[in-house]
Structure 1
Amino acid sequence: MAKQSRAQGQKPMSKKEKKNKRRKRKIIIVIIELLILLGVLAWIWVNGKMDKLNTDVSFKGQDVRVELPEETQEVLVEYTTIALFGLDNREENSYSRGNSDVIMVARIDKETKEVRLVSVYRDTFLKMADLNNTDAYSKANAAYAMGGPEQAVRMLNTNLDLDIQEYVSFDFSAVAEAVDILGGVEVEITNEEAGHLNNYCVETSKVTGKDYTPLPGAGTYNLNGVQAVSYGRIRYTIGDDFKRTERQRLVVEKMVDKALASDMSTINELIDVVFPKIKTSLSKAEILSLAKDAFNYKMGDNAGFPFDRENEVVSISYQKGSQDCVIPADLASNVKQLHDFLYGTTSYQVTDSVQSISDEIVYRTGVRAKKD
C-alpha cells in the first residue's frame, strides 16, 4: 500500500522532460565514446613514439646478473638502477661495440623519485667479467668494446655488487641533437676549458654534421649541442678524467632540468629526433612506467667512482704493452661507499666475490686502501 501511494503521488514526466533525459543520456554516451577514442589515439601515439627506439631485444637481463645476498636484493628492489653508456664511436647507430667513454649508473628512488648519478671513471682498473677469459682485468671502458652492452653491464654488477638489468647507450650525435632541441645548456667556462672546447668542437662538428661558434675565452655561455658534447670530452685540464666526468654529469643535470621545464611540442621533438639515436634494453612497458612519473623526478647528488683512488694513474703491464689506469684504493672500501651513496646502506658488507676482486687488484697493482 505504501508503495502504491508513493507511485500515486509522483507526477508523470512530460514529453519535454523525457526528451531532456534522453538527450542527457546521449551526451553521456558521446562523452564516454570520445574518452575511449582519445585513449585509443593516445595509445597509438605512444606506441608510434616507442617504435622509434632502437630496442635491444637480444639483451637478456638474467645473463648479466651476479649472485647477491638476500638482504642486498631487498634493498636494491626499492630502486630502479640503469647503466648509461656514451660511446666514442664515429659512426651513427653503431651500438654493438666501442669504448664506452661515458659510464654512468643512474639510480631512481621509486618512492621519492630522486635521481642520483655515479660516473665510473673509464680508466678504472676492474675485472672484465669476460665469460671467455675469467681472469681478464682492464680499463672499465674496455668491457663494452670486448663484449658490447651485455659484458659492460655484467662488469658493473660483478665489480660493484649491483643488480643492473637494463641499459641505455648513446653517441655524440644523440647528445648534440638533444641539447639543441632543448635550446642549449648554460655553463660557466674557464679560459683553459674554452681553448680545449674549441679544439674538440672541430671533430665533434664533423662527426655530428652540426655547426658551432668558437668561444672567445672564459665566461658563462649557453652551449649548443656541439659545444656541450665537446665540453664533456675535455680531459686535459687539472683533474684529468675525474674533472671530465664532473663536466659530463653537469651537462646531464642541465639537460634534465631543461627537459622537465619543456612544453609538449619540445618533448615530442626530442622523442622524434633523439629516440632513433639511442639503443636500450628497456621495453615499451618499462619506458612508459618510468615516463609516467617523469615530471616528478628530481636530481639529487652525483659522484665519481672510485671515491678513493691512487693519486696518480698507474701503468699496468700487459702482454701487448701497458696501460695507464685509475686504481681503486681499494675496491672493497669503495663499493661500501657506493652502496651508502646510492642506497643508504651505511654498514654494507661486500660479497666474497668483490672482496676477491679487490684483493686481486691490490696484488696486481700494490695499491691498498687509504688509512684514516
Structure 2
Amino acid sequence: MNNRKTLIRSILVVLLLIVGLTSLFAYRYINRVLGNIRGEDIPSSETGINQDVKNRINSYDNKIKNILLVGIDRNNNPEDPQRSDTMIILSVDDKNKLLKMSSLMRDTHVKITGYGTDKLNHSYAFGGIKLLMQTVNSNFDMDIEDYVLVDFHDLIAIIDAVDGIEMDLRPEEIPFINNGIRNLNNLEGTSVPYLSHPGKQLLNGTQATSYARIRSTLGGDYERTERQRLVLAKVYSKVRTASVVSLPKYIEQLSPFVKTNLTYNEMFDLGLKVISEPFQMTGHHFPTEATSEEVDTAEWYIKMDKEKTVRELHDYIYLNRAPKKEDNYLKESPR
C-alpha cells in the first residue's frame, strides 16, 4: 500500500512539474510575442464615439465586433509624416459567420478635428492612430475602439511568412506590378524577380504588395481597395488552413510587423474563433459610387453624402445588406 501511495505521489509531482514548466514556457512565449505586438492604448473617451451613435448601434439585433485595420505607407524620408494608405473596418459577424471588410476610400473629404475638412488618409499624418480613429468614428457613425496597424512595407514580410499567396493576374496589371517591384527593390535593397506573364501564379511578399498597390488600371482606387481586400483574404486563408503545429510559428513571425491595442485575451479569443469556426469573407468599399461624387478642382477628392453613406455602411455591417457589387472571397477570385 505504501509503495502504491509513493507511486501516486511521484506521478502527481511529475504532472505538476510538467504543468508548471509548460505554464512558464507559455507565459514567456506570450510576453515575448505581446511585447512585439502591443501598440498605443486609446481611452474609450478619446475614440470619438458619439453616445447617440453608440445607442443606435446597440439597438441592432446583430452584435458585431469592429476593428480598424490600418496600413501605413512609409516613404524614403523617415522624417516625412506617414499617411494611412489603407483603412478597412473589419467586422466580425458571429451571427452570420462572416468577416466583412469595409474599405474606406482614402481620398474621401471628411471633417478632421482641429484641421477642418481634408482627405481621410491625412488624419493619420496629423495625429496618428488616435486622430484617425476619431475621424472614422465621427464621419461614418461608428463605435470602433480597437485597431490593428501595419506598415505597408512590412506586408512583404507577412506574406513571405505564409510562404506567398496565389493570385490570378490580368495582363494589364503586369507592368504596374513590375514597376512596384522595381521601386520596392530599390527601397529595400532586394532583387526580387519581375513577373513575365498573367494568370494564376504564386507571388512572394514583394510581388503581392506591388499588386495590392496598383491604382492606375481602369478601376482606379476603387479597384485598388478590392486588390487589398483580396490579398488580406488570401493571407487569412493560408493561416486558417495551416496545421495547429504551424500556428505558433506564424504568430511569432508576424508579430514584429503588427501593432494593436487588443489585449492578449481578446486576440486569443478572436483568433481562435475566426480560425476554428466556418467564417467566410466578404468586402466592399465606402463611400460607394452611388453615395458620392468625384471632385477634380485644385485637388482631386471624393465628396460623400454622409447620411446615405452611413446608411449603406450600417446596412452592410449590421443588417447584412450588401451594396450592389460585393466581393465574395469564397470564390476563386471576384474579378
Alignment TM-score > 0.5, same fold:
yes
Measure, in 1, the Cα distance between the counterparts of 2:23 and 2:235: 30
- Displacement over 6 Å in runs of 4+: none
Given the two structures, how large is their TM-score scaled by the length of structure 2? 0.85
- Map 1:272-291; keep pairs closer than 5 Å: 272-291=252-271
Distance 1:310 1:199, change over 3 A: farther
Structure 1 equivalent of residue 294 of structure 2: 313
The CA deviation string for residues 9-63 of structure 1, in whole angstroms up to 9 with x for no partner, is xxxxxxxx44224313431342233223312321221112111225214x33320
Task: Give the conservation status (yes or no) of the 8 Å contact 1:197–1:234.
Answer: yes
Matches of 1:337 and 1:273, distance apart in 2 = 37
Match of 1:169 among 140, 144, 149: 149
Identity of aligned residues (%): 27
Q: Per the alignment, in what secondary structure is the counterpart of residue 51 of structure 2?
A: coil
Equivalent of 1:337, from 312, 315, 330?
A: 312
Corresponding residue number in structure 2 for 1:325: 301
Q: Partners in 2 of 1:208 and 1:72 — Cα distance?
A: 44
Amino acid at match of 1:258: K
* Higher relative contact order, structure no. (Cα contacts within 8 Å, ≥ 6 residues apart): 2
Tell whether the 8 Å contact from 2:295 to 2:303 is kept in structure 1 after alignment: yes
**Alpha carbons 1:172, 1:204 under 8 Å: kept:** no
Residue 314 of structure 1 contacts residue 325 of structure 1 at CA under 8 Å; is this kept in 2? yes
Letter in 2 for 1:221: Q
Task: State which drifts further: 228-237 or 170-179.
Answer: 170-179
Residue 44 of structure 2: aligned partner = 61
Deviation at 1:174, TM superposition (A): 1.6
Equivalent-residue separation in structure 1 for 2:188 and 2:59 (angstroms): 43
Residue 299, structure 1, aligned to residue 280, structure 2: yes
- Alignment of 1:50 with 2:25, yes or no, is no
Deviations 1:280-331 (A, max 9, x none): 2223343334334352252321111112447862125xxxxx2211222x22
1:101 Cα offset (Å): 1.2
Aligned to 1:153: 133
With normalisation by structure 1, the TM-score equals 0.77
After superposition, where does 1:180-329 map in structure 2 within 5 Å?
A: 180-263=160-243, 266-296=246-276, 298-309=279-290, 313-316=294-297, 322-328=298-304
Q: Distance in 1 between matches of 2:153 and 2:24?
A: 33
When Rg is computed on C-alpha atoms for both structures, the one with the higher figure is 1
| Pair 1:90 & 2:66 matched | no
- Which residue of structure 2 aligns with residue 99 of structure 1? 83
SS at match of 2:288: coil
Which shifted more, 144-153 or 33-42?
Answer: 33-42
1:40 equivalent in alignment to 2:24:
yes
Name the amino acid aligned to 2:20. Answer: I
**Farther-moved stretch of structure 1 (73-82 vs 189-198):** 73-82
Query: For each residue in 1:66-93, what CA deviation from the matched residue of structure 2 results, as whole angstroms up to 9, or x when unmatched?
Result: 223324235499322111111111369x
Q: What count of residue pairs does the alignment treat as equivalent? A: 318
Give the whole-Å Cα distance in 2 for the aligned partners of 1:170 and 1:276: 10
> Match of 2:314, as an amino acid?
H
**Larger CA deviation: 265-274 vs 213-222:** 265-274
For 2:85 and 2:189, how far apart are their aligned partners in 1? 21
Q: Per-residue displacement from partner, 1:129-155 (whole Å, max 9, x unpaired)?
A: x1x24xx11211111111111111111
Q: Return the letter of the residue paired with 1:338.
A: L
**Residues in 1 aligned to 2:202 and 2:176: alpha-carbon distance in whole angstroms:** 17
Q: Structure 2: state its 5+ residue gaps.
A: 322-335
Q: Is the 8 A contact 2:162 2:239 kept in 1?
A: yes
Asked if 1:125 corresponds to 2:100, the answer is: no
**What is the alpha-carbon distance in structure 1 between the residues aligned to residue 245 and residue 189 of structure 2?**
24
SS class of match (2:142): coil
Q: Tell me the amino acid that sits aligned with residue 68 of structure 1.
A: Q
